[in-house]
Structure 1
Amino acid sequence: MTAPARAASVPGDAAEPRARFRDLLAAEWITFWSLRSTPAVLLLGAAVIVATAVRNARDTLDHYVPGTGRPDTMRQVALDSSFSMVGADVVMLVAGGLGALVLAGEYASGRIRTSLAAVPDRCALLLAKALVLTGVLFAWAAAAVGTAFGVDQALLSDRGIGLSVADPGALRFLAAAVLLAMVCALVGLAVGVLVRHSAASVVGTILVLFFLPSLFTDTYRWTADVSHALPFTAWRRLATLSLAHARPSDHPATVAGSWTALALWALASLLLAVLVIRRRDH
């Protein structure tokens, strides 16, 4: 009796190689840019930031009297002119809104089931989305805020009050603005995973980033601690070179505490999103 012949191996029968994490990153990169409004939102947000810096520079030049003002005060004026509260509002709105839509949009459309079927490892899927999101927002904020700073300081240099990145406090000022964008994006991502509805996620993110800081003041120790721990107030402290000429407070924020607050918001948002996406059924 002859032994049964073995079936010839067919290349197509071979198991497909397991997808690598960089392949997942590439897929999420394509998914992120698949929404046509994303580039428009980023370009419009950057244009508003730069236009606001130009307007602030002109306003500063109109009211500046040569020979007046302390050097440290003029440095603060020059920095605030390049990236004011309006610029911070735009960064929080754009970054938080895009972050909220990264997963909430998939929940709303039902595409989350396809995504999880293709990538059963939910943590890997979320991490890939978070890395793409923060990477894009880092590049966007660095380009927008950096351009605004350069244009603004070039205009102010006509009166001798323009700054460079090497001036004291300038690098911290710019780094804080870029970090604010990345943190707000992760906050939006966490809210999107929790709410799972596009419009409600954007509204929830706005409430956390914009409305929550207005509820707490520096009147009492505990309210001051909560206020200083919020992303917006942490950024505002980092954007302030010195508190020497600021309104007196019994409970002032610190630079180290503000950096820590932003880092903890980013970490807590990512951990919350991981916990929720692992435990929820889809």
Structure 2
Amino acid sequence: MTATTSTSTDVPGGERAAREPRARFRDLVAAEWLKHRSLRSTWIAYGATALAVIGFNAGIAYDTYSHWTLQVSKDRAAFASDGIALQQAFTANAALLMALALGAIGALVVVGEYSTGTIRTTFAAVPARRSVMAAKAVVVTVVTTVFGMAVAGVSFTLTQAILDRRDAGVSICDPGALRVVLASALLAPVCALVGLALGAVIQHTASTMITSVVVILVLPLFLTDGRHWSAVVGHTLPYRAWLRLVDVNHSPIAFPWTTGGAWTVYTVWVCIACAIAVTGVHRRDQ
């Protein structure tokens, strides 16, 4: 009687599985990009956010244009020199709107898969969870940076074109203009990565969205510059960092800080969010 032997092809996870090459990181990035762009709701969210932000900024500029004759001559001369034209290039309310929307989009990259259960399939195909989350972070960073640059660039061009009809617009070469555009553009990936990190840790849609709103919107509005501890905590938040970066003339405040500090806040939030997203999910059971 002959003995029946099993080949490695018959044994799940055996020698054949051991010989299979691990997924390359660029393949994971390509897979995450495919998932990101294949969802129609994602592009609807991007489109709606872009239209709302650009429309909001353009509306403020047009209101200034249409009521320009009510300005006294002294105020007209100081309009550009006081940085008001740049304030209308990307308004505070538009920045909050974009920050909230991008935070939600970043969160849905993760919690969308948890809610449908497809995250189990993803981790079954690629057990290296950290690599998967790193690929998600790369895709979110690239896409939202391009989105932010497009929205900030169009907003600046459109608002200044409207104001220029009253000889009140500024160019991108004017002092502080490029900083306003870059700060507004990079606010998008910062908030999207915050949402991604919260989604990776919380893993529930409603809880993630509520926490995102608290971090991005409620805390900056709750904290004040009138108290030292409150000002210091506020300076660590992305939205407050954006406010400092777009304040071209640097209005005097009780506890001032530098533009370098504001750029550092952007960088630290990105690094911490990526670290949480990549390491947090590795410690959780699916």
What TM-score comes out, normalization by structure 1 length?
0.89
Instruction: Call closer, same or farther: CA 1:74–1:60 in 2, change over 3 Å.
Output: farther
2-structure distance, mates of 1:179, 1:79: 17
Residue identity over aligned pairs, in percent, reads: 41
1-structure distance, mates of 2:135, 2:253: 42
Q: Secondary structure at the match of 1:281?
A: coil
2-structure distance, mates of 1:220, 1:82: 30
Count, aligned residues: 268
Does structure 1 residue 267 correspond to structure 2 residue 274?
no
2-structure distance, mates of 1:152, 1:213: 26
Mapped contact 1:61–1:159 kept (Cα < 8 A)? yes
1-structure distance, mates of 2:231, 2:80: 25
Does structure 1 residue 36 correspond to structure 2 residue 33?
no
Mapped contact 1:60–1:81 kept (Cα < 8 A)? no
Pick aligned residue for 2:249 from 232, 242, 247 = 242
Pick aligned residue for 2:192 from 175, 178, 185 = 185
User: Shift in Å at residue 126 of structure 1?
Assistant: 0.8
What TM-score comes out, normalization by structure 2 length?
0.87
Pick aligned residue for 1:220 from 220, 227, 234 = 227
Does structure 1 residue 25 correspond to structure 2 residue 29?
yes
Query: 1:5 corresponds to which residue?
Result: none
The amino acid across from 2:105 in the alignment is L
The amino acid across from 1:48 in the alignment is A
User: Shift in Å at residue 58 of structure 1?
Assistant: 1.4
Instruction: Call closer, same or farther: CA 1:76–1:82 in 2, change over 3 Å.
Output: same
Pick aligned residue for 1:276 from 247, 268, 280 = 280
Mean alpha-carbon deviation: is it higher for 186-195 or for 84-93? 84-93
User: Shift in Å at residue 68 of structure 1?
Assistant: 2.6
Q: Which runs of 5+ in 1 are unaligned?
A: 1-12
2-structure distance, mates of 1:267, 1:150: 31
User: Shift in Å at residue 191 of structure 1?
Assistant: 0.7
Does structure 1 residue 45 correspond to structure 2 residue 49?
yes
Q: Which runs of 5+ in 2 are unaligned?
A: 1-15
CA RMSD of aligned residues (A): 2.0
User: Shift in Å at residue 38 of structure 1?
Assistant: 0.8
User: Shift in Å at residue 36 of structure 1?
Assistant: 1.8
2-structure distance, mates of 1:159, 1:215: 37
Mapped contact 1:95–1:185 kept (Cα < 8 A)? yes
Q: Secondary structure at the match of 2:42?
A: helix
